[in-house]
Structure 1
């Protein structure tokens, strides 16, 4: 890499360097490293030093200057991929969230945005063979997420020579420009980490939160939903006055959000107490829900979203919306009695889509698909929930969303036999693949 001194590593240590190939890719509204599992140590317990150094988090700080991380939760991620041994599954994928401001990794949940890049990576790395002919030059790629033990089916566009077709005219909120669409289908998303759609047993509840930021404990109205990832979905109107009186990014507001998150983790059954919950940075996640305004101009609905979502990730407001968050919100919107259901019914006017079909779907098992439009900090996101009926009741069978992805650059991570030294893990970008290419 230009500018790296040969004296960065002590000559006394004489480290032995090995190269770990990787791809730096935007996937949805996230960006991160995509790595073959066979290029990492056999045990996941040994991955952290390498990935922390590659992203630039090994020494803490907030800028990740010694790695390729982008100093935000959405640009400090890793997807580790292998050819699957599961019949009809093309690739297995493990998600790793690398904290951008501390030497910590989290593998407890999935990332839908990073998952959208797994299919294209597996296709281009030839983890499976393309069977011709392809209908409209599209194909389905089946992915198994090891974090949540769930199946995803990704529909991607393919070039005539069997590679992922990046170029296209599809755009998503939160990303400038256009690219090829990637259709994401999360199969049977309920109970990703807890085994139940509503782990606490309630569709909504009043959660009491002990706080260092308010004079007394406060109470918020929340639905604890586990679909693709566990999310605490809060009614924003029930947040304490201290939160409403501060900016969302203020230390006070973020402190309150974290207090709710860890209290929710205990109710989810993910931690025995809030202290233990605070040591797990990735899950559960949290989002505030607001009713959407229905502004009408000569009969035309300007804002057709069904609900407004302010999500958080690693203690910061998310710039858009996690795909797994959209799965949770879309699922909750489809279930009478949840916080999301109640809030979307508060908005005056006609909802996006066919409201009569929605109401019929709730009572008629044969009408099993409902579409929702979610508003988030960067724009709008559509989500489609398909329901199935079993002897135990109705369950979300499939949740569909759309993303896009683009390869930023192939990389080689320089590794060594001394993973405790930050200088022993550099990222070398070949001159023919500058990071500024895209």
Structure 2
């Protein structure tokens, strides 16, 4: 039989996903995940689901009112691993997070507060908080505006995202190996987690310029095998265990900026080169740039002042990150701009 499940679909940042109320899904995780797979699509084409046959369009948000005094809503991110009939709830997704505030308003989970509404989101994947500020002029949410982000067409109303103390949210420490720099298979790497576990590597150390197209990097089997060998070895060192079937850590090649930014990147999620860069991945890379003795030294251009505004270049543009440090140099807040738009709402039918 077919079961009808209420949903909304949002473009969040440069990703797209299905948003569900937790109360509309099974409470048991394994059963919930099977329903999500049925809704998005189990096989590579996702022909029998609503996914887009790509990691950036095979994402899900599960949202509920929070019982925490410091949060309005709880958010669980679920990545459907395309073609593998499984999900991964290890990482966060800052792009899908950008749609959580609008979804909470559309679903009636929280009231509008004025011309702007701030939604405090507790991220269940990492046990961290993020404040989202949404445009609600005249007491209604709007998606119209002049904010533009690379990786998404047109302009929209801005969604301001302030991540609060996310260092070590997945791995337990900003530098989970205890080192600013490690040597893996003879290759210097910086393993960092400021909201997203990332392994930062100088592209030249893997025989690349760092300016190659995504297709060129993805289709280079020899290069990808070398990159995956490093990823599998750093997984346990980053307290992630066996990462064979995980989408983290993300692997990011870096090179000097080309277009007026502070660092150029090519990121893999985990085996396909990302057309852009993930929100929290950009935060982690930007943080690596300001750490003394990381692999970014001599490659990244570091701005003055505090907070520091860093532009992370990627294949389809750039991503600006504002990092605020305390007196000891620790990053205590990461701010950035996203946009989101409601695409559809209704019921998805799944076979049970």
Q: Provide TM-score, normalisation by structure 1.
A: 0.76
Q: How many residues align?
A: 348
Task: Name the structure 2 match of 1:344.
Answer: 300
Task: Name the structure 1 match of 2:223.
Answer: 253
Is the alpha carbon distance of 1:341 and 1:371 closer, same or farther for their aligned partners in structure 2, counting shifts above 3 Å?
farther
Alignment of 1:262-411 (within 5 A): 262-271=232-241, 276-280=242-246, 282-293=247-258, 303-345=259-301, 355=303, 358=304, 361=305, 368-389=306-327, 393-411=328-346
Among 121, 125, 129, which residue is 1:143 paired with? 121
Cα offset, 1:240, TM superposition: 4.8
Given that residues 247 and 253 in structure 1 are in contact (C-alpha distance below 8 angstroms), is that contact kept between their aligned partners in structure 2? Answer: no
- Post-superposition Cα deviations, 1:340-390, rounded to whole Å, max 9, x if no partner, equal 243215xxxxx6xxx4xx2xx5xxxxxx4111111100001111000124x
Any idea what SS the aligned residue of 1:343 has? coil
Cα offset, 1:336, TM superposition: 1.5
Task: Name the structure 2 match of 1:49.
Answer: 34
Any idea what SS the aligned residue of 2:292 has? coil
Given that residues 251 and 270 in structure 2 are in contact (C-alpha distance below 8 angstroms), is that contact kept between their aligned partners in structure 1? Answer: no
Task: Name the structure 2 match of 1:192.
Answer: 169
Task: Name the structure 1 match of 2:133.
Answer: 155
Cα offset, 1:292, TM superposition: 1.8
Among 21, 27, 40, which residue is 2:25 paired with? 40
Among 71, 76, 100, which residue is 1:118 paired with? 100
- Post-superposition Cα deviations, 1:188-237, rounded to whole Å, max 9, x if no partner, equal 010111221001111112112xxxxxxxxxx2111000110111111111
Q: Distance in 1 between matches of 2:338 and 2:226?
A: 31
Q: Distance in 2 between matches of 1:144 and 1:53?
A: 26
Unaligned runs of 5+ in 1: 1-14, 209-218, 294-302, 346-350, 362-367, 416-423, 426-438
Larger radius of gyration: 1
Among 39, 53, 73, which residue is 1:91 paired with? 73
Cα offset, 1:256, TM superposition: 2.5
Q: Distance in 2 between matches of 1:240 and 1:404?
A: 36
Q: Distance in 2 between matches of 1:328 and 1:319?
A: 18
- Post-superposition Cα deviations, 1:132-183, rounded to whole Å, max 9, x if no partner, equal xx3xx222211000000010011110142x3321111211111111111111
Alignment of 1:16-95 (within 5 A): 17-57=2-42, 60=43, 62-95=44-77
Q: Provide TM-score, normalisation by structure 2.
A: 0.94
Among 201, 209, 212, which residue is 2:178 paired with? 201
Cα offset, 1:244, TM superposition: 11
Is the alpha carbon distance of 1:411 and 1:253 closer, same or farther for their aligned partners in structure 2, counting shifts above 3 Å?
farther
Do residues 236 (structure 1) and 221 (structure 2) align? no
Kindly report the root-mean-square deviation, in angstroms, between the aligned alpha carbons of the 2 structures. Answer: 1.9
